[in-house]
Amino acid sequence: MQHNAESITHLIRTRRSVFPDQFDAGKPVPDEIIEDILVNATWAPTHGHNEPWHFTVFTGKGLKQLASFQSELYKKEAGTSFTEKKYLKLQQQPLKASHVIAIGMKRAMHTRIPEVEDIEAVACAVQNIYLSVAAYHLGGYWTTGGITYYENAKSFFGLKEADRLLGFFYIGHVAVPSSQGKRADIKEKTTWIRE
């Protein structure tokens, strides 16, 4: 098996989050591409072959279902922190995307693997989604805002009590590219021990 390290390095270093307001709203991505992206996601490392990821994909009229569900759940549960601005954002954001993928983590029954390792596996799957989206020259954005951590949201996405909703991945065609990224010098983030 041969890989081109230069191409992989370029893909990793040029990948950017592209927010829904930057999408070409109304321009669909073929479902076959989304399926290919999700297959790539499943090749993430996973302890004990747990494969804890669970994806719920919204597209077409399904985007309206997601928008309605999340905005109404927010309105019901926000209490005194409710704002009309956030309510409207939850209603409108999904409609700007071609597809929105709810990212779930399902716990296997009687597993001895720590929960954090299943969460980490799902995060690795999301990185595979990000890189695949970039390879297809599409825009993608993982958000953990909105209703992500609402316990009452789980059942809508086929998740049970022990499972977790880990956010939403928005995918669309890019109308407005993101700016170049930057990272701290690796020397600031690395300790080498040679002896």
What's the pLDDT at 51? 95
What's the pLDDT at 1? 67
Instruction: Count the Cβ atoms, other than its own, within 10 Å of residue 68.
Output: 13
d(CA 177, CA 66) in angstroms, rounded, equals 26
In order of 16, 46, 123, 183, 191, the CA distances from 186 in angstroms are 19, 27, 22, 8, 10
In a structure prediction context, what are the per-residue pLDDT tens digits for the chain, which is 195 residues long? Answer: 678 999 999 999 999 999 999 999 989 999 999 999 999 999 999 999 999 999 999 999 999 999 999 999 999 999 999 999 999 999 999 999 999 999 999 998 888 999 999 999 999 999 999 999 999 999 999 999 999 999 999 999 999 999 999 999 999 999 999 998 899 999 999 999 999
What's the pLDDT at 89? 97
What's the pLDDT at 184? 94
What's the pLDDT at 193? 95
pTM, two decimal places: 0.95
Instruction: Count the Cβ atoms, other than its own, within 10 Å of residue 89.
Output: 17
Grouping H, G, I as helix, E, B as strand and the rest as coil, residue 166 is: strand
**Which residue ranges form the domains of the chain, and what is each CATH number?**
17-177 (3.40.109.10)
d(CA 166, CA 53) in angstroms, rounded, equals 10
What's the pLDDT at 24? 97
d(CA 90, CA 84) in angstroms, rounded, equals 10
17 — alpha (psi -120 to 50), left (phi > 0) or beta?
Answer: beta
